Amino acid sequence: MTSSSFSDILQFFFMGLQRGCIYALAAMGFNMIYNATGIINFAQGEFVVLGGLMMVTLTMAVKLPIPLAFLSTTVFVTLVGIAMERFTINPVKHPTVLRLIIITIAVSIIIKGLAMCFWGKNSHFMRHFSSTETLDFYGATILPQTLWIIGILLLIVAGYIYFFNYTMTGKCMRACAINRDAARLAGINDRKMVMLSFALSAGIGAIAGIIITPIIQMDYARGALLGIKGFGAAVLGGLGNSMGAIIAGVFIGILEALAAGYISSHYMDAIALIILMLVLFVRPSGIFGSSEAMRLKEF
H or E element: which one contains 56? helix 44-56
Told to check if 299 binds another protein by CB under 8 A, we report yes
Told to check if 287 binds another protein by CB under 8 A, we report no
Nearer to another protein, 99 or 127 (CB): 99
User: Can you tell me which of 6, 68, 99, 192 binds another protein, judged by CB under 8 A?
Assistant: 99
Nearer to another protein, 39 or 152 (CB): 39
- DSSP letter, residue 88: I
d(CA 161, CA 166): 8
Q: How far is the CB of 175 from another protein (least distance, A)?
A: 18
Told to check if 273 binds another protein by CB under 8 A, we report yes
Told to check if 113 binds another protein by CB under 8 A, we report yes
The SS3 assignment for 137 reads strand
Buried b (16+ CB within 10 A) or exposed e, 234-263: bbbbbbbbbbbbbbbbbbbbbbbbbbbbee
CA angle 116, 119, 123 (to 5 degrees): 95
Told to check if 123 binds another protein by CB under 8 A, we report no
Q: How far is the CB of 292 from another protein (least distance, A)?
A: 8
Residues 211-250 that bind another protein (CB under 8 A): 224-225, 228, 231-232, 235
> Which residues on adjacent β-strands are paired with residue 140?
137
Q: How far is the CB of 30 from another protein (least distance, A)?
A: 10
CA angle 129, 271, 105 (to 5 degrees): 75
Q: How far is the CB of 229 from another protein (least distance, A)?
A: 9
Which residues in the chain belong to E strands, given as ranges? 135-137, 140-142
Beta carbons of 88 and 194 less than 8 angstroms apart: no
Listed ranges 17-25, 133-141, 167-175, 287-295: which one lies at the site for another protein (CB under 8 A):
287-295
Told to check if 8 binds another protein by CB under 8 A, we report no
- Strands 135-137, 140-142: pairing kind: antiparallel
> Which residues on adjacent β-strands are paired with residue 142?
135
Residues 21-80 that bind another protein (CB under 8 A): 40, 42
Binding site for another protein (CB under 8 A): 40, 42, 88, 91-92, 94, 97-99, 101-103, 105-110, 112-114, 116-117, 224-225, 228, 231-232, 235, 264, 266-267, 269-270, 273-274, 276-277, 280-281, 284, 292, 294-295, 297-299
